[in-house]
Amino acid sequence: MRIGIIGSGRIGATAATLLTRAGHEVAIANSRGPETLAGTAEQTGARPATVEEAAAWGDVVVVAIPLHAIGSLPADAFAGKVVIDANNYYPGRDGAIERIEGGETTSSELLAERLPGARVVKAFNTMYFETLAQEARPGAPREDRLALFVAGDDEEAKRRAFALIEEIGFAPVDTGPLGDGGRRQQPGEPIYNAPMTAPEAERALAR
C-alpha cells in the first residue's frame, strides 16, 4: 500500500519506520520541504515529498502535525483519502480552542472539517512514541499485543486503519465514532498514554 505521512516528528517518523518495515511504500512530508528530510528518509526508509505530493500519492494518509497547523493543509489533495489523524489537542501548544474546551467538538472533527472530502479516523495518538517504536509484536497473538485505539464514522476507513495496525504489530481496538470515540482517546482520559494489551483495553472501555 502507498502511505503518505504528513509530519516528520516523533510519531510521524516512528509510524514511517514501522510501516516501511511492514512492506508498505511510504512518502513523508513536513512544512519545511523535502530537502530537510534526508536524515529522516535514511532513518525510516520513507521517501521525502512535499505535503501535496504525499497526500495525493498515498492510498492512506497519516496526519501527525500539531492541531494549530491543520489550517495549512491543502484540502483538495486529501479528497477521497482515508486520513489517519494522530494529533492531540494541547492548549499550551495549540492555544485554547473554545469549541473543544466547551465540548462541542474534538480535534479530529476539526480536521475532518478542514478536509471535507477525506474519510478521517483517529489513531496512533494515545501511545508514547518510544512505546510505539519498541513494543510492536507482529508475530504475537492479539491478546499479547498492545492496543492502538481507533475512532471513526466510516467503517471501511476504520478497517483500513485496523489492518495497518495489525500489520505493524499492535492490536486495533475500536472506541466508536469520531466524536464520542475520539473523546475517549483525548489526553487526560483513562486510556491515553496507558499501555495495555487488547483484552485490558477492552475491559477499560467497558467500565
> What confidence tens digit (pLDDT) does each residue in 87-100 have?
999 999 999 999 99
- Report how far apart, in Å, the C-alpha atoms of 116 and of each of 109, 126, 132 are: 10, 24, 29
Burial of 107 (0-12, 13-18, 19+ CB in 10 A): buried
Could you read off the pLDDT of 66-90 as tens digits, one per residue? 999 999 999 999 999 999 999 999 9
Q: What whole-number distance in Å separates Cα of residue 185 and Cα of residue 200?
A: 15
Cell numbers that stand for 39 in this block: 536524515
Tell me what pLDDT residue 207 has: 84
Count of Cβ atoms closer than 10 Å to residue 92 Cβ: 6
Q: Cα–Cα distance between 20 and 39 in angstroms, integer?
A: 15
Residues in the chain where the model's pLDDT stays below 70:
none
How many residues are present in the chain? 207
Give the whole-angstrom CA distance, residue 6 versus residue 12.
7
pLDDT of res. 119: 98
Residue 109, CB half-sphere, CA atoms under 13 Å: how many? 17
Question: At 32, which CATH number?
Answer: 3.40.50.720
> Which range marks the domain in which residue 124 is found?
2-206
Is 48 within 8 Å of 32 (Cβ atoms)? no
CA–CA distance from 133 to each of 40, 124, 129 (Å)? 15, 12, 6
**Number of domains into which the chain is organized:** 1
